[in-house]
């Protein structure tokens, strides 16, 4: 089928006036032989957004390679068929949530109607809410599955479709083979190319406020305010997302002082007008938070990403400005906090996160698990007490939410800071105490963004064909190729390079962006020694990736 024919077939089933008009205009130009229009159609219809363990995620627009009502409708119908197959003779329950991105509410309602039309019990959350509330609701409501319409911290023009499973999966995100099984059902729906024939019903339920209230109550228990919270001054940004309302309710119940908010970023806005990339890790994304914190005399800053499943923390620096802590720094502090009160169990992190968590686990006699990246894996660690990954994701309350949760992590961090204040310490003092106790760990990252994903494959193949003998002037001790991992060990397209001085470089393709990433970890005798080792390792990693 030509791309023009594929586009016409798509037009015939598209219920969205906006994308239909967008596509019709391109088809008209393509029919006239416009080369640019034909290239655009090739990009839109030459491939299809793949459904995987991360669900769906991509740019909004018409076409099989975009996020739109046709693609989402096909995904919902396919997922419904999977759930009916998974629970024969039963009536599966699906709870659906959505954030403040463009079309999130539309995609969520379409999904609810299609689930209901397929004979499932569909429950739509009452309004736009954080992703952790949806993850909580899957378990709280005893649902068979959950769907969250969000692209998290992706660029403004993106949206996505994240899937959770209940029952034995305990509300965690899907893993293999469920992803392939769901994808097969979605492909079968798409092959029929007749979305209008998919049954719909408005007999879905709207969840009442009790679901949100239950999440608030459970999250308050993470860290009710200790005495040290009195007089605490801090700043907060929701990054134009949905975190503020829910967080504020928790703060008021838990007894924490309310923050000074970044007014321009506190309300949900899918256009993200003050940031080019709504991710607290991106340069410039927290500039308004720094300004607000300085003007208000804040002691620290907390920031959520747009769907509030991630948390960033910033503290004053020696030059009078602000320093955002790395995800590893926050992850290790929260892991230390969890370990101090744990009575057995496991601390877990992704294999690209700081090895410092293993040192914490060993110090307290706890188990440790290094998993593949993503909370779909971290949340499945046996006897999990706490889990994190360096990309600002933290799981502090596995008894209620089996996914990263930037709101409960914020509450845990507030509790940690308040306890330090009681002892006359700042968060910088706590970081120093961690280093004195467990060692001076430092982490970095080298990322290479590509326009052609094939480039990443060529680089990984080159590194396997000609492994490095040294990186940054330090000899390589051994290389673990996780494509050939032993049974029971994490496996994937990952190279883990160990150097003779104990440093580590992990190279892997990004799971959500067109990037190749190299994660760097060192342990030094002092902060200065760790910084010097990291600088040399970073230079060596850049040279390694460039020459592969």
φ/ψ of 368, rounded to 5, equals: -135, 140
Per-residue pLDDT at 455 exceeds 70: yes
Confidence of residue 492 (pLDDT cuts 50, 70, 90): confident
Is residue 123 within a helix (H) or strand (E), and if so which, with residue range? strand 121-124
Region 440-547: CATH code: 3.30.310.50
335 contacts: CB under 8 Å, gap ≥ 6: 347, 349, 357, 360, 361, 386, 388
Number of H helices, E strands in the chain: 17, 22
Whole-model pTM? 0.94
pLDDT exceeds cutoff 90 at 548: no
Please state, as a whole number, how many other Cβ atoms lie within 10 Å of the Cβ of residue 28: 11
The length of the chain is 548
Q: At what angle do helices 210-220 and 131-140 cross, to 10 degrees?
A: 100
Cβ contact 258:248 at 8 Å:
yes
CATH topology of domain 53-208: Alpha-D-Glucose-1,6-Bisphosphate; Chain A, domain 3 (3.40.120)
The mean-pLDDT minimum among 83-87, 346-350, 382-386, 454-458 falls in 454-458
The answer to whether the CB of 445 falls within 8 A of the CB of 430 is no
pLDDT digits (tens, 9 = 90+) for 7-41: 999 999 999 999 999 999 999 999 999 999 999 99
Q: How much is the pLDDT for 80?
A: 98
Residues 494, 82: Cα–Cα separation, whole Å: 30
Pick from 48-52, 76-80, 163-167, 489-493: least confident: 489-493
Residue 546 has pLDDT above 90, yes or no: no
pLDDT for position 109: 98
Domain ranges across the chain: 1-46, 53-208, 230-437, 440-547
Interatomic CA distance for residues 41 and 47, integer angstroms: 10
The percentage of the chain sitting over the pLDDT mark of 70, rounded to a whole number, equals 99
Find the mean pLDDT for residues 192-210.
96
Distance CA 510, CA 325 (A): 22
pLDDT classification of 101: cutoffs 50, 70, 90: very high
pLDDT above 90: percentage of residues in the chain:
91
Task: Look at residues 52, 311, 76 and name the one whose alpha carbon lies nearest to residue 173.
Answer: 52
pLDDT of the residue at 333:
98
Tell me if 53-208 shares its fold with 230-437. Answer: yes
Please state, in angstroms and rounded to a whole number, the distance separating the CA atoms of residues 332 and 337.
9
Look up residue 511 and give its two tokens: 């799971």
What's the topology of domain 230-437? Alpha-D-Glucose-1,6-Bisphosphate; Chain A, domain 3 (3.40.120)
Q: How far is CA 30 from the centre of its chain?
A: 38
| pLDDT confidence tier of residue 429, bands split at 50, 70 and 90 | very high
Active site residue 152: yes
pLDDT digits (tens, 9 = 90+) for 308-323: 999 999 999 989 999 9
Name the residue with higher pLDDT: 333 or 455.
333
Give me the pLDDT at residue 512, please: 66
State mean pLDDT over 285-301: 98
Which residues in 438-471 are b (16+ Cβ under 10 Å) and which e? bebbbbbbbebebeeeeebeebbeebeeeebeeb
Give 369's DSSP letter. E
Q: Is 534 helix (H, G, I), strand (E, B) or coil?
A: helix
Mean pLDDT calculated for residue range 70-91: 97
Q: What are the tens digits of pLDDT across the range 206-222?
A: 999 999 999 999 999 99
Per-residue model confidence as pLDDT tens digits over 373-387? 899 999 999 999 999
Considering the chain, what is the average pLDDT of its residues? 95
- Marked catalytic residue, from 64, 111, 144, 152: 152
Range of weakest confidence among 116-130, 163-177, 387-401, 477-491: 477-491
For residue 452, the model assigns a pLDDT of 83
Judge whether residue 107 has pLDDT over 80.
yes
**pLDDT tens column, 147-193:** 999 999 999 999 999 999 999 999 999 999 999 999 999 999 999 99
Q: What is the DSSP letter of 67?
A: B
């Amino acid at each position: 089928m030509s791309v023009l024919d594929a586009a016409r077939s798509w037009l015939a089933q598209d219920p969205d006036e906006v994308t239909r008009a967008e596509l019709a205009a391109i088809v008209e130009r393509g029919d006239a032989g416009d080369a640019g229009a034909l290239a655009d159609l090739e990009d839109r219809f030459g491939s299809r957004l793949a459904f995987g363990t991360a669900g769906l995620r991509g740019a909004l627009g018409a076409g099989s390679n975009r996020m739109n009502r046709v693609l989402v409708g096909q995904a919902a119908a396919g997922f419904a068929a999977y759930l009916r197959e998974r629970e024969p003779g039963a009536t599966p329950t699906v709870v659906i949530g959505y954030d403040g991105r463009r079309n999130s509410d539309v995609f969520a309602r379409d999904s609810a109607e299609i689930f209901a039309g397929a004979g499932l019990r569909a429950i739509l959350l009452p309004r736009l809410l954080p992703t952790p509330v949806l993850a909580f609701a899957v378990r709280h409501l005893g649902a068979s599955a959950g769907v969250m319409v969000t692209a998290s911290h992706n660029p403004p023009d993106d949206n996505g479709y994240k899937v959770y499973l209940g029952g034995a999966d305990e509300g965690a995100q899907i893993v293999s083979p469920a992803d392939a099984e769901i994808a097969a059902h979605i492909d079968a729906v798409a092959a029929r190319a007749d979305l209008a024939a998919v049954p719909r019903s408005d007999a879905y339920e709207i969840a009442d406020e009790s679901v949100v209230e239950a999440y608030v109550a459970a999250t308050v228990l993470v860290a009710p305010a200790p005495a040290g919270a009195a007089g605490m001054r801090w700043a907060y940004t929701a990054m134009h997302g949905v975190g503020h309302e829910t967080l504020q309710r928790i703060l008021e119940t838990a007894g924490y002082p309310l923050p000074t908010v970044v007014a321009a970023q506190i309300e949900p806005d899918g256009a993200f007008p003050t940031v080019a990339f709504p991710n607290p890790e991106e340069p410039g994304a927290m500039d308004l938070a720094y300004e607000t914190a300085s003007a208000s005399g804040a002691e620290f800053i907390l920031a959520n990403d747009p769907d509030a499943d991630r948390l960033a923390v910033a503290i004053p620096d020696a030059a009078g400005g602000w320093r955002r802590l790395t995800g590893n720094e926050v992850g290790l502090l929260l892991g230390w906090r969890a370990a101090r009160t744990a009575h057995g169990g496991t601390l877990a992190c992704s294999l690209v996160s700081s090895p410092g968590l293993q040192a914490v686990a060993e110090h307290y006699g706890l188990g440790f698990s290094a998993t593949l990246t993503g909370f779909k894996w971290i949340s499945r660690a046996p006897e999990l007490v706490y889990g994190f990954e360096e990309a600002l994701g933290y799981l502090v309350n596995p008894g209620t939410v089996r996914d990263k949760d930037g709101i409960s992590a914020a509450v845990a961090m507030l509790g940690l800071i308040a306890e330090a204040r009681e002892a006359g310490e700042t968060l910088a003092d706590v970081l120093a105490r961690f280093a004195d106790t467990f060692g001076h760990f430092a982490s970095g990252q080298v990322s290479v963004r590509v326009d052609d994903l094939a480039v990443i494959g060529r680089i990984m193949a080159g590194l396997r064909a000609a492994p490095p003998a040294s990186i940054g002037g330090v000899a390589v001790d051994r290389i673990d190729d996780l494509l050939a991992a032993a049974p029971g060990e994490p496996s994937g397209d990952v190279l883990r390079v160990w150097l003779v001085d104990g440093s580590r470089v992990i190279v892997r393709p990004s799971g959500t962006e067109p990037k190749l990433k190299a994660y760097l970890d060192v342990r030094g005798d002092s902060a200065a020694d760790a910084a010097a080792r990291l600088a040399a390792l970073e230079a060596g990693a850049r040279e390694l990736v460039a020459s592969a």
